[in-house]
Amino acid sequence: MKVKDYIHERVEGGTMHMTLLDPAKQSPERAAEMASVAEGMGTDAIMVGGSTGVTQENLDATIVAIKRKVKVPVIYFPSGAHAISPYADALYFMSMLNSAALENVILQQVAAAPIVKRFGVEPLSMGYIVVEPGMKVGEVGKAKPIPRSEPGTAAAFALAAEYLGMGLVYLEAGSGAPQAVPEEMISLCKRTISIPLIVGGGIRDAETAARVRKAGADIVVTGTVVEDSDLGEDLRRLIQAAKGTS
C-alpha cells in the first residue's frame, strides 16, 4: 500500500501520531529502539529528519536500522536536497511556503526531484508552514513565521497549499518550541482545508497532545519528547492522547 493511501485511511478513522527521530542525535541502533518502542505504544509512522547535521550516511544508517525493527512506514522529513535516502518508504516532498528564500520554496525541490524519481521513493506532497517561534527550522529555513495571533494568515497559507495541489499541510511551531501551535490556528486551518493537517513542535505532554488533536490536527508529531523520554508510561500516555485512544 502506498504511504499516501495509508495516511488517508488512518486519518479517516481518527488522529494519527507520528514519531520524529533526528539521525544526528543518536546512533542508528538507538533510533531503531526508540522507533520500536513507539510503535508498540501505537505510533502510526516514523519520521526521520532534522534541521542540521543530517548526512547521507547517518540518514541511510538510521532508516535502515529502523526499517529492520518496525512495520509502520518510515517517512523522510528532509531539510534539503543534500541527503535523500533510497531506503525510506516515502518522503515529504515539501515546500516551506513562508520562507523568504526561494531555495526552500522551490529550488531544493528542483534539485531533489530527479533523485527521488531515480530512487523510486514515494513523494508525499506537503505545504510546510512555520508558525512563531519557529525555532531552528525557522531560522535555518529563513522563514517569516506566522504570528501566533494570526490564525487567518495560517489558514490562507494552508488553503493556498491545497489549491496548489499539495496533499498535506504541516503547521510547525519548531522543534523544542516552548508552546505548540495555538488551538485557534489549528481549528481554523482544519475548517478551511480538506487535506490532512499535520501539527508539530512543542508538544511534550499528553494534555497538549489531546488539545492539539481536539483542535483538529489529523496528525500529531512529537520529536523532542521521545528523545528526552525514558520510553516509559509518559510516552504511552502522550501517544494515546494524540490519537484519542486513552
Q: Nearer to ligand 1GP by C-beta: 36 or 222?
A: 222
Nine-digit cell at 161? 497549499
Mutual angle of helices 28-40 and 56-69, in 10-degree steps: 40
Q: CA 76, CA 90: separation in Å to the nearest integer? A: 6
| Residue closer to ligand 1GP, measured from CB, 163 or 190 | 190
The nearer residue to ligand 1GP, 179 or 187, going by C-beta atoms, is 179
Q: How far is the CB of 91 from ligand 1GP (least distance, A)?
A: 14
Residue 79 or 109 having the CB closest to ligand 1GP = 79
Query: Looking at 209, 221, 238, 242, which residue binds ligand 1GP (CB under 6 A)?
Result: 221
- In the list 39, 44, 89, 172, the residue contacting ligand 1GP (rule: CB under 6 A) is 172
Residue 119 · residue 78 · CB < 8 Å: no
Let me know: does 35 contact 20? Beta carbons within 8 Å. no
User: Residue 118 corresponds to which cell in the numbers above?
Assistant: 531515480
User: Rounded to whole angstroms, how far apart are CA atoms 4 and 7?
Assistant: 5
Among 28, 78, 145, 200, binds ligand 1GP (CB under 6 A): 200
State the residue number with the nearest CB to ligand 1GP: 200
Answer yes or no whether residue 176 interacts with ligand 1GP by CB under 6 A.
yes
Cβ(211)–Cβ(37) under 8 Å? no
Give residues with Cβ within 8 angstroms of 83, minimum separation 6: 54, 55, 56, 59
x/- letters, 6..45, toward ligand 1GP (CB under 6 A): --------------x-------------------------
Residues of the shown chain interacting with ligand 1GP in the complex, contacts defined by CB under 6 A = 20, 172, 175-177, 200-203, 221-225
